[in-house]
Amino acid sequence: MHRTIYGIVTPQSCRPVDIERRGKIRVATFESKLGESERVSFDPAALPPRGISKQMIRGRLVLSVLAVDLIAIVAPIALAAWVHLGYFFGVRVVSLLILVLPLYYLIALQIKAFSLRNIIKPPRSMRKAFSALLGAYAIGLAITFATRSNEELSRVLVATGCLLSGISLILARAIFADLAARALGGTPATEIVIVDGVEPPPQCTATRVDVQGAGIIPNLSDPMMLHRIGECVFQADRVIISCPPERRGKWALALKGAGVQVEVLAPELDALGAIGTSNYHGFATAVVAVGPLSGIDRVTKRVFDLVVAGAMLIGLLPLLVIVAIAIKCDSHGPVLFAQQRVGQGNRLFRMLKFRSMYVTQADASASRLVTRGDPRVTRVGWFIRQTSIDELPQLFNVLRGEMSIVGPRPHATGALAGSALYWEVSAHYWNRHAVKPGLTGLAQVRGFRGNTETGADLLNRLQADLAYLESWTVWRDVILVLQTFKVLMHRNAF
């Protein structure tokens, strides 16, 4: 049994012993059945605004985009059939739709084309939907030819339908993305930060609920108080608690039953760089690092490395022989030069290069930067350094598993940025070694090559390396390899 006092539903077990009104603020003292009493103030203006929850909006948008895609695919195919065959729907049209539509939705689900975060971003939404459509047509046609059931399909209808439905789908997704973003207010989730004595970071843009104004405290023995907390957060998707350390446990317990994602701000974890939590024999732990690649990702990347490195060695074998002969004829010494570099897991390995310096003036630790007109570099050395041919022996490092085709470039332990060692410039420098170093990488494609004369030169490369770790896909490796050919000749390579 419940009763309503000033718009707040209270259980019968809690009875008011004192109520007063101060303008818009109602102050009440309640006594629970346990005999405890607490004095709290309640300001309706301090509560989050009510309205249709974003959870409901998200559900409607997902259903809507499913319908929009269906219309965007079916309508152009039906139109093409009417122009070509004289009817909107028939055996050929239905056969094509039965073939394409299930495959489209399966592929779209797999690549998260219906994810809200993708739906509200026009370029991403259009790209994923179009990719799913092309994949559906490609797989569908392969199935029909393999099973010899393509007699029921019209080639003109398939080609025209694919073209028109692709254009229609792109336009529909572009328009829908704009409407969806407006409906969600630009963000797919509702965030609330509960402020209890500790100010959240200034960049926090979530809806603020001050515990003093809202009249809420984490009292687990007061059902009415827990109800009021639930009223504050019931439309939220994410709740952040900003409170002193001694009250974090109470707030966590009070909100575990809220049915939303609840997080506690713990600034002291910033120094650890925590990325999550785990459990060790019943004790909570802060996760500070995980491998950037899953098991299947590591296998995929290794297969890619072996295929590309093997193909390049076979295709470039004549060039490698010519360069080796030129080096031997140009100066005394070995063809290859091995230098200690930092590899995956901060483990050292010997990286191979074509020798480009005179043997007596080689810099094994790479502590001295090569400058334009450097007398240590041989005549052949100048050419192979400017064209990046000197890096080709690292294909053998790739085959041996010490390097990858794409990844952060391996640095020497004595390399300097200005007058400082690389790891002295940034504490995050060692993070780049979570994957194997590469023949090429995102930093090189972005143009960050040559000497590191200042700390900023290194930071630009480090930022690119860390960005690569955070968003690895095998397709991105393929794109980076193709983009590398544009930057092989570089003005900073000498």
Are the C-beta atoms of 455 and 432 separated by less than 8 Å? no
Are the C-beta atoms of 17 and 28 separated by less than 8 Å? no
DSSP string over 415-483: -EETTEEHHHH-TTGGGGGGS--EEE-HHHHTT--S---SHHHHHHHHHHHHHHHHT--HHHHHHHHHH
Q: pLDDT of the chain along its 494 residues, tens only?
A: 333 333 343 444 444 444 444 444 444 444 444 344 444 444 545 455 555 566 677 778 888 999 999 999 999 988 888 887 777 777 778 888 888 899 999 999 888 888 878 888 899 999 999 999 999 988 888 888 777 765 666 777 888 888 999 999 999 999 999 888 888 775 656 788 889 988 888 777 778 888 888 888 888 888 888 888 888 887 777 888 999 999 888 898 888 877 778 888 888 887 777 777 888 888 878 787 777 888 888 899 999 999 999 999 999 999 999 999 999 999 999 999 999 999 998 999 999 999 999 887 766 666 566 766 778 889 999 999 888 899 999 999 999 999 999 999 999 988 888 888 998 998 889 889 999 999 999 999 998 887 888 899 999 999 999 999 988 999 999 999 999 987 776 555 54
Question: What gap in Å lies between CA 416 and CA 429, rounded to an integer?
Answer: 13
At 54 the pLDDT is 67
At 16 the pLDDT is 45
- In the chain the first and final C-alpha atoms are separated, in Å, by 83
Give how far the C-alpha of residue 419 lies from the chain's centroid of Cα atoms, to the nearest Å. 34
At 365 the pLDDT is 60
Task: Look at residue 406 and give its three-state secondary structure.
Answer: strand
- Nearest one of 32, 22, 29 to 5, comparing CA atoms: 29
- Nearest one of 447, 448, 449, 438 to 472, comparing CA atoms: 438
Question: Domain spans of the chain?
Answer: 2-51+190-287, 54-183, 295-487
At 162 the pLDDT is 86
Are the C-beta atoms of 292 and 470 separated by less than 8 Å? yes
358 C-beta neighbours (distance < 10 Å), count: 16
